[in-house]
Amino acid sequence: MRDTAIRLVFFALVVLIWEIVVRLEFWPDYLFPGPMQVFEAIRLGVEDHTFLTAIAISLRRFAIGFTLALLIGIAFGLVIGSVRLARETVGVLLIGFQSLPNIAWLPMGLLWFGLNDRAILFVIVMGVINSVAMATADGIRNVPPLYRRAARTMGARGFTLYLTVVLPAALPAIMTGIKLGWTFGWHALIAGEMLFVSLGLGHLLVMGRELSDMAQVMAVMLVIVAIGLVMERLVFSPIERRVSRRWGLERA
């Protein structure tokens, strides 16, 4: 309760300082609009449905890409974490790919898939796979050998052993990877959407620039930040906390 109050006061202060800086008129207001203009842009965007549509389109795209990336990333991680040879080969390759910024995959995606959704999905998947796969692999390698031994003496083997012991034991690490992957994926989505008439949030940003409508640009940025905060606060952090509490990794 107290934290919420402090947070509200803080955000109010930011808006206030923003307003004061605008009132001092260092820059013309078409280059640096005040909070009122930006909120007005948000209101307009919501009213004529462009924002809501864009949010829906972006989130849908993200959900597809992210799900795909999780499936592939966890599968990769399972193999890398379990097979030594895979760790020395594919694992090293993934570490190398970590130095590539997400958008560096865009030209490849555009050439392969053209200016369409699939190119964006490609960039999201490539951006997310890495962190999820690495975290999964680490999680699996760090599963206490004792768990496997205990499960084996109770008759678990092969696929069952993975499903009932190895995966659950690695879940806290996998969750951390997913949370990290979500950030990368979200970045990749917005960057990809800026390239063509994708109708998503990234596209709205570019449209704002083309119309020289700074208020809209800032409004869309605010929306992107807000969605990020909501996802982090209401989805990923609670799940992560629940998992680590249940697993006894964090004193409740």
Partner 1 sequence: MSLIRAATATVDVRRQQCPYPLLMIKKALDGLREGDVLEAQTDHLPTARETTPRFCKDMGYGLDVLEEAGLWRLIITKGQEAPKPVSLTLDGVEKSYASDRGLVTAVEQIDLQILEGEFVCIVGPSGCGKSTLLNLIAGLERPDRGAVKIKGHEVTGPGSDRVVIFQEGALFPWLTVRQNVEFGLKIKGVERRVRRDLAMDYLKMVHLTRFADALVHELSGGMKQRVASARGLAMDPDILLMDEPFAALDAQTRDLLHVELQEIWTATSKTILFITHNVREAVCLANRVLVMTYRPGRIKETFIIGHHRPRHLEDPGLIETSALILKTLKGEVDKAVKAELGDA
Binding stretches for partner 1 (CB under 8 A): 146-147, 149-157, 160, 164-165, 168-169, 171, 246-248
Rounded Cα distance, 118 and 121, in Å? 5
Name the minimum Å distance from CB 140 to partner 1.
15
Task: Return the sign of the alpha-carbon dihedral for residues 129, 124, 112, 61.
Answer: positive
User: Going by C-beta distance under 8 Å and a sequence separation of 6 or more, which residues neighbour residue 65?
Assistant: 120, 121, 124, 125, 128, 185, 189
Q: Which is nearer to partner 1, 44 or 171 (CB)?
A: 171
- Torsion from C-alpha of 134, 136, 139, 143, nearest 10 degrees: -130
Closer Cβ to partner 1, 28 or 158, answer by number:
158
Taking the complex as a whole, how short is the minimal distance between the CB of residue 142 and partner 1, in angstroms?
A: 14
State the minimum distance, in angstroms, from the CB of residue 164 to partner 1.
Answer: 7
Determine how many CB atoms are found less than 10 A away from the CB of residue 162.
18
Nearest to partner 1 of 70, 175 (CB atom): 175
Q: How far is the CB of 173 from partner 1 (least distance, A)?
A: 13
Tokens representing 198? 């994708």
DSSP category for residue 97? H
Nearer to partner 1 by Cβ, of 100 and 150: the residue is 150
